[in-house]
């Protein structure tokens, strides 16, 4: 029987259409876009086309606002450190949340430890929501940046970014959002949402690994974090990853097609997973909200009395790939900072399971999983010294 892949939040397979679009730029169309001859103009044109497609999926009407990067992590670093260094004379205070991806949190910590910035880490409620009123209350005269993610990578919470963006705009503060998990799954319009900077990554939407982008609204000042060339309008040095950029552009184009229909399908599978788990297994905690305030493909639950790593190993042996949280922290023995932030106790947070759906998943796979998971949990609980059921 074919394996079930339920870890699309970690990465997605490159679609056949994306792969075919990329192939010529490895061998036939190999010119360096910074040169002036025909081969270079061919690759430069491909980059320009990809830039337009990426701008389109987030509602930007100016492709020059897109900077290509090596991924979402670099985009987050460039946005936060770049803005901080560019605006440090105006102030050294940043506002973020306690459940951000570590690319954001560690960038903020770097600025605190090495450059004397102050960072306010806002709390979230039991479903992972940032309160816009808390954002406004945290603003100081020296606040220069607010960075709040669009959708949480672990528990799927879709944050009120439009409200937060409006607050930032009113106070003349730059607003950055990490939209790595959101792009291609929910509608985004950077203008309507008052977003100044937005990070995204190709491999979360059936594109290749090692390429992403940062949207930077026209007029926003930031200091480049890489030196050595004038690429990306002098904002990100390094010879462009042409095949990757072409792949990102194609992935964005495909993700934008019938997005509502595809997201509806994923939401139906998500809700069936939640229903089936809660109906057939006791002492389960759903982490994050229900309904349309949750990413359509995200399920995150905790099973009391057992550890997530044991669940994952048993699922793997039974043909299912899943995770207990962010792939970027999979080597850590500490419980998820996101689950602790929403109020879970350490021992409960250790028993988490994240299932993240993608375009290739089916309801048949969902039903197969629901037949399998009760037995896995029962087996592990019977082995647990904490379980008395």
Structure confidence by residue, pLDDT tens digits, 116-128 = 999 999 999 999 9
* 328 included as an active-site residue: yes
The structure tokens 């061998």 sit at 27
Same structural domain, 247 and 327: no
Q: Domain holding 196: CATH number?
A: 3.40.640.10
Domain endpoint, select from 224, 256, 288: 256
Confidence at residue 199, expressed as pLDDT on a 0 to 100 scale: 98
For residue 39, name the pLDDT band (cuts at 50, 70, 90): confident
How many residues would you count in the chain?
389
pLDDT at position 35: 87
Residue 388 placed within a domain: no
> In this structure, are 115 and 141 located in the same domain?
yes
**What total of structural domains would you count in the chain?**
2
| First and final C-alpha spacing in the chain | 32
**In this model, does residue 328 exceed pLDDT 70?**
no
pLDDT single digits (tens) 98-118: 999 999 999 999 999 999 999
**Structural domain containing residue 220:** 16-256
Q: Answer whether residue 389 shows pLDDT above 80.
A: no
Same domain, 159 and 180: yes
Domain end call among 194, 227, 256: 256
Supply the DSSP string of 309-350, one letter for each residue. HHHHHHHHHTTEE-BSS-GGGTT--SPPHHHHHTT--HHHHT
**pLDDT for residue 327 is more than 60:** no
Q: Which of 48, 86, 328, 340 is catalytic?
A: 328
pLDDT over threshold 80, residue 8: yes
Instruction: Give the pLDDT confidence of 220-243 residue by residue, as tens digits.
Output: 999 999 999 999 989 999 999 999
| Same-domain status, 275 and 203 | no
Asked whether 6 and 357 are in contact (CB, 8 A), the reply is yes
pLDDT band at 325 (very low <50, low <70, confident <90, very high): low
For residue 16, what is the enclosing H or E element? helix 16-22
The mean per-residue pLDDT over the stretch 301-328 comes to 89
pTM of the predicted model, to two decimals?
0.96
What is the pLDDT at residue 249?
98
How much is the mean pLDDT over the chain? 95
């Amino acid at each position: 029987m074919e394996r079930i892949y339920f870890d699309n939040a970690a990465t997605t397979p490159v679609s056949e259409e994306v792969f075919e679009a990329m192939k010529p730029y490895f061998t036939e169309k190999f010119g360096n876009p910074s040169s002036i001859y025909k081969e270079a103009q061919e690759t430069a044109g491909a980059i320009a086309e990809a830039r337009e497609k990426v701008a389109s999926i987030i509602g930007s009407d100016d492709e020059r606002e897109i900077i290509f990067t090596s991924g979402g992590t670099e985009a987050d670093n460039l946005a936060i450190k770049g803005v901080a260094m560019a605006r440090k004379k105006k102030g050294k205070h940043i506002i973020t949340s306690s459940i951000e991806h570590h690319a954001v949190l560690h960038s903020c910590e770097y600025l605190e430890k090495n450059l004397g910035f102050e960072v306010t880490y806002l709390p979230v409620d039991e479903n992972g929501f940032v309160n816009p009123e808390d954002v406004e209350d945290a603003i100081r005269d020296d606040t220069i940046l607010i960075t709040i993610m669009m959708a949480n990578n672990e528990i799927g919470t879709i944050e009120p970014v439009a409200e937060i963006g409006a607050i930032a705009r009113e106070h003349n503060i730059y607003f950055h959002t990490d939209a790595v998990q959101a792009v291609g799954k929910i509608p985004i319009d950077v203008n309507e949402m008052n977003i100044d900077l937005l990070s995204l990554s190709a491999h979360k939407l059936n594109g290749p690994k090692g390429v992403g982008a940062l949207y930077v609204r026209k007029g926003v000042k930031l200091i480049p974090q890489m030196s050595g060339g004038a690429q990306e309008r002098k904002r990100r040095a390094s010879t462009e990853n042409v095949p990757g950029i072409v792949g990102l552009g194609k992935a964005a184009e495909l993700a934008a097609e019938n997005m509502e229909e595809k997201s509806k399908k994923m939401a139906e599978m998500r809700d069936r997973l939640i229903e089936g788990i809660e109906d057939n297994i006791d002492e389960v905690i759903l982490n994050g909200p229900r309904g349309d305030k949750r990413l359509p493909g995200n399920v995150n639950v905790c099973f009391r009395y057992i550890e997530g790593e044991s669940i994952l190993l048993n699922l793997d042996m039974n043909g299912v790939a899943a995770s207990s949280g962010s792939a970027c922290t999979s080597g850590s023995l500490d419980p998820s900072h996101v689950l602790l932030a929403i109020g879970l106790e350490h021992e409960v947070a250790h028993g988490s399971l994240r299932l993240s759906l993608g375009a290739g998943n089916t309801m048949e796979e969902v039903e197969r999983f629901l037949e399998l998971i009760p037995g896995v949990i029962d087996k592990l609980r019977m082995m647990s010294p904490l379980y008395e059921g």
